[in-house]
Structure 1
Amino acid sequence: MSYATIMVHVGIDDGCDARIRVASGLGERFHATLIGIAAWGPRPPFAAEGMVVDFGPSESETAAMQAELGRLGARFRATLGATNRPVEWRAALDFPVEVVARAARAADLVVVGAGPQPDDSFRALDPGSVVLRAGRPVLTVPAGVDALVPSRVMIAWKDTREARRALADALPFLHEADRVIAVEVCPDGGEDAAQENLDDLARHLARHRIALAAGITMHADGAAGDALIRVAGEERIDLVVAGGYGHSRLGEWIFGGATRDLLARAPVCCLLSH
Structure 2
Amino acid sequence: MSYAMLMVYVNVDHVSKQLVSVAAGLADKFSAKLIGVSALAIVPPFVAEGVVIVDNASEFQIAQMKTKLAEAGDNFRSAAGAGRQTEWRSALEIPTDTLITEARCADLVVIERNRRSIDFYKVPDCGAAILGAGRPVLVVPGAVKSLTADHVVVGWRDTREARRAIWDALPFLHQAKRVTVIEICENDQKEAARHHVDDVVLYLARHRVMAEGRVETQLLGSGADQIIQLAEDEGADLLVTGAYGHSRLNEWIFGGITHDLLTSSPICCLMSH
User: Which runs of structure 2 are paired with 1:16-165 in the superposition (5 Å)?
Assistant: 16-47=16-47, 56-83=56-83, 85-116=84-115, 119-165=118-164
How far 1:15 moved relative to its partner?
A: 7.8
Runs of at least 5 residues in structure 1 that lack an aligned partner in the other structure? none
Q: Which moved more, 1:114-123 or 1:87-96?
A: 114-123
Deviation for aligned residue 1:81: 1.5
For the Cα contact (< 8 Å) 1:131–1:244, is it kept in 2?
A: yes
Asked if 1 retains the 8 angstrom alpha-carbon contact of 2:4 and 2:30, the reply is yes
Deviation at 1:223, TM superposition (A): 1.4
One-letter amino acid of the counterpart of residue 73, structure 1: G
Asked whether the 8 Å contact 2:15–2:76 carries over to 1, the reply is: no
Unaligned runs of 5+ in 2: none
How far did residue 197 of structure 1 move? Answer: 0.3
In 1, Cα distance between equivalents of 2:24 and 2:111: 13
What letter is aligned with 1:89? W
5 Å-filtered alignment, 1:171-210, equals: 171-210=170-209
Q: What letter corresponds to residue 28 of structure 1 in structure 2?
A: D
Distance 1:6 1:35, change over 3 A: same
Query: Equivalents in 2 of 1:124, 1:151: separation in Å?
Result: 30
Q: Secondary structure of 2:211's partner?
A: coil
User: Cα offset for 1:213?
Assistant: 2.5
Cα deviation digits, residues 144-194 of structure 1 (max 9, x gap)? 112110100000000000000000000000000001001111123110110
Say whether the 8 Å CA contact 1:38–1:92 is kept in structure 2: yes
Q: Compared with structure 1, are the counterparts of its residues 13 and 58 closer, same or farther at alpha carbon in structure 2 (3 Å cutoff)? A: closer
Equivalent position SS for 1:136: coil
- Alpha carbons 1:117, 1:126 under 8 Å: kept: no
What are the superposed Cα offsets for residues 247-269 of structure 1, whole Å, 9 maximum, x if unpaired? 00110101111111111111111
TM-score normalised to structure 1 length: 0.95
**Aligned twin of 2:225:** 226
What letter matches 1:21 in structure 2? S
- Cα pair 2:36 2:76 within 8 Å, conserved: yes
Range 263-272 or range 51-60, more displaced: 51-60
Equivalent residue, structure 2, for 1:213: 212
Could you tell me whether the CA contact under 8 Å between 2:12 and 2:38 is conserved in 1?
Answer: no
* C-alpha displacement of 1:47: 4.2
**CA separation of 1:265 and 1:15: change in aligned 2, threshold 3 A:** farther
**Identical residues among aligned pairs (%):** 46
Give the superposition deviation at 1:56.
Answer: 3.1
Displacement of 1:13 after TM fit?
Answer: 7.2
**Distance across 2 between alignment mates of 1:155 and 1:119:** 29
Q: CA RMSD in A?
A: 1.8
**C-alpha separation in 2, matches of 1:115 and 1:240:** 17
How big is the shift at 1:109?
Answer: 0.2
Note closer, same or farther for the CA distance 1:118–1:89 as it changes in structure 2 (3 Å cut): farther
Work out the CA distance in 1 between the residues paired with 2:48 and 2:12.
Answer: 31
Query: In 1, Cα distance between the equivalents of 2:16 and 2:240?
Result: 22
